[in-house]
A and B are shown apart, each in its own frame.
Chain A
């Protein structure tokens, strides 16, 4: 299944890209997706959103989902 990935802020710098599209097997989790795009462990404070909702790395993905990885937020 096809998953769209977005990286923001320092995560974009680390990954060297702002977004990418990845094909992974059905029933993959966010953690599986991370392993498919990099061999580096996910930084401990990474925040995850699937379809613009906060979630965890155990979240099971569906075809066409948009997954975002980013560091702690610093707005306001």
Chain B
């Protein structure tokens, strides 16, 4: 398991490939699920975003994500998890976050990856400040994962 919080661009596809070749045993995983979050040039009614600054709480951010990954590894039968998250100045189309999970079968990897990114979006101490020609503003809330909510509702109805 590895968590990287970094100021500076990264290529998520290369990061996954490098991590897998260095850390995941050949022939042991049947599924690898990756989530890559990128910066849009529109958000919440503003359609000309030119840049974004991502603030974080050094120390707590890393600690929090590491714990979430450990929770995912304990909760599901997955082989490994890898997270990279940008901080600092970000431009539209840049990758902001990568979550990659490897497991023997797909269901575990999908569930663990969704668990990590949803916790990261709602609990890990990061804050976005968006800018366009009119000025800058702190983003006030993250979008809700509607599918996760549907799954939760379905589970409640079934129980």
Known: A68-B57, A74-B141. 20 other contacts (CB 8 A): A8-B57, A9-B55, A9-B129, A13-B138, A68-B60, A68-B125, A71-B138, A71-B140, A72-B140, A72-B142, A73-B125, A73-B142, A74-B128, A74-B140, A75-B85, A75-B120, A75-B126, A75-B128, A75-B142, A76-B126
Interchain pairs with CB closer than 8 A, number: 74
A: number of interface residues (CB 8 Å) = 17
Contacts of B54 in A (CB 8 A): 75
| Contact residues of B: prevailing secondary structure | mixed
Interface bin, chain B = 20 to 34
Q: Using a CB-CB cutoff of 8 Å, which residues 106-159 of chain B contact chain A? A: 117, 120-129, 138-142
Q: Which residues of A contact B140 (CB under 8 A)?
A: 71-72, 74
